Structure 1
Amino acid sequence: MKVTIIASGSDGNCIHLQSGDTGILIDAGKWKRDLEKRLLAKGVNASTDIQAIFITHSHNDHIRGLTIANKYRLPVYATDGEWKKISGVDDELCRTLETTYGKYDPVEVGKLRVYPFKVHHDALEPVGYSVEDDSGNRACIVFDTGHIDDDMLEMMEGNIYIIEANHDVDMLREGPYDDYLKDRISDKYRGHLSNDQTAEALAKLVRGRGELIFLTHLSDTNNLPKLAEITVTSTLSAKGLSRSSYSIEVV
């Protein structure tokens, strides 16, 4: 499975996953024209390399360029709650993620199987995704969430982790944001993952079998790429995992 980070951060988020002749986007958080340019620059052909778009939640930095679906006639998947805040997608392209006994049903797109799961953020019905291919790869995508619970950990097991490391706790606490915004970012049910939270989750998931880790959605104000990387690698080292047993990239 090939992972291409099209955009990451507060200005927009978009991931492309490709396995064989099947490709999907997770979120489309850049304006359509910018998104098309970024896809082209990364070698992703919007006409042939994307078969569907999956939305984590309806905040602008995740759906800003979603009208790209209309141009290329791409089905868009989102939860019922998030569709309440999404507009501009042609009706025949809208797909609602269904549930059975409280769990989201998987969606098959070509060679990919997509498993949505609940996350914790200040949106109506946000989700993360795990994506499997026929070669045994399983990629987990978790963008905005205030914490990672046991149900999420169960769904996140795999060999590719695309996960937010939004802020450093001390930088957020001592930074320029007002108290309301600081509380919102650090809130367990509305906010974002800190470096420490991300590191703790990865320590439970990574086995040192060549996993790929992508740290995404870093705050420009409350984090530093090197700080996010050191926090994760130090925690994995304390678990006994050598730096050579996995790969990590800070986006």
Structure 2
Amino acid sequence: MTDSGFKYSILASGSTGNAFYLETAQKKILVDAGLTGKKITSLLAEIDRRPEDLDAILVTHEHSDHIQGVGVLARKYHLDVYANALTWQAMEGKLGKLDVAQKHIFERGKMLTFGDIDIESFGVSHDAADPQFYRFMKDGKSFVMLTDTGYVSDRMSGLIENADGYLIESNHDIEILRSGAYPWSLKQRILSDKGHLSNEDGALTMIRSMGNNTKKIHLGHLSKENNIVELAHMTMKNNLLQADINVGEEVVLYDTSPDSASPLLDI
């Protein structure tokens, strides 16, 4: 591959498990491993990649749909794992035994230079110990991951603005969630400021945050019970069109899957 920019694949995105892969000329990174080690290995194989070639795993927060396979992969392939201090405390008993040398602190609001790529962490509003997501930057290009947040503040919107690509949460359709079978307490949690972005919220976040550089938007973390892929896509598309954003020409919308990897794409 060339030395400029980077490649990425959304290996899995959804309420059942999340994993994101990114590579540069120097580094291969996994962000979250919310499925079994075996499943993540097969997802990597879909894009012709192997877990033994990974350099590190970055963790966003300690919920099981983001860390299920972290310990297994880190032990088997001797991978460095990065998370902030409160997330380490919260997931310590969930990963199994890791060598001290594999554990690295990457605090919220900080920048990490990892080989030839810069990674900026930023806090989100979610019911976890200290959840954070990431903006990846190299050669003037950037990609933002933003799921698992109940709302997007003006400050967060500024931190993520004008990236070349986004993975943005489109977790639920509000009406499907409200009329669905979930207990009221769970519905309240999802709809709260520490829950998840609805299709509408994700679209409005994109309109506030995207800029002239933005060419790719991936709709992520869809709920199997409270959303429909086509509905999430249509909601994003219609909102962007209403904001005079030329979908399909200026910017391309991509759906994600909870159990199959997206093709490797260039940024």
Q: Same fold (TM over 0.5)?
A: yes
What TM-score bracket applies, with the shorter chain setting the length? over 0.9
- Contact 1:209–1:245 (8 Å) recurs in 2: no
- Contact 2:110–2:122 (8 Å) recurs in 1: no
Equivalent position of 1:55 in the other structure: 59
Equivalent position of 2:198 in the other structure: 194
Equivalent position of 1:93 in the other structure: 102
Equivalent position of 1:16 in the other structure: 21
Shift of residue 210 of structure 1? 5.2
The TM-score, its normalising length taken from structure 2, stands at 0.87
Higher RCO, Cα 8 Å, sep 6+: 2
Q: Distance in 2 between matches of 1:72 and 1:79?
A: 22
Q: Distance in 1 between matches of 2:49 and 2:157?
A: 30
Q: Distance in 1 between matches of 2:31 and 2:158?
A: 20
Shift of residue 208 of structure 1? 5.2
RMSD over aligned CA atoms reads 1.4
Residue identity in the other structure for 1:41: E
Equivalent position of 1:235 in the other structure: 239
Q: CA 1:181–1:28 in 2, change beyond 3 Å: closer, same or farther?
A: same
Partner secondary structure for residue 133 of structure 2: strand
Shift of residue 65 of structure 1? 0.3
Identity of aligned residues (%): 33
Uncovered stretches (5+) of structure 1, i.e. residues with no partner: none
Corresponding residue pairs, total:
244
Within the alignment, does 1:141 sit opposite 2:150 as a pair? no
Q: Distance in 1 between matches of 2:156 and 2:42?
A: 33
244, 251, 255: which one aligns with 1:250: 255
66, 69, 79: which one aligns with 2:70: 66
Residue identity in the other structure for 1:130: R
1:69-98: CA deviation from partner (whole Å, max 9, x where unpaired): 122222111111111122323321111123
- Contact 1:211–1:245 (8 Å) recurs in 2: yes
- Contact 2:215–2:250 (8 Å) recurs in 1: yes
Partner secondary structure for residue 128 of structure 1: strand
Q: Distance in 1 between matches of 2:103 and 2:17?
A: 21
- Contact 1:132–1:138 (8 Å) recurs in 2: yes
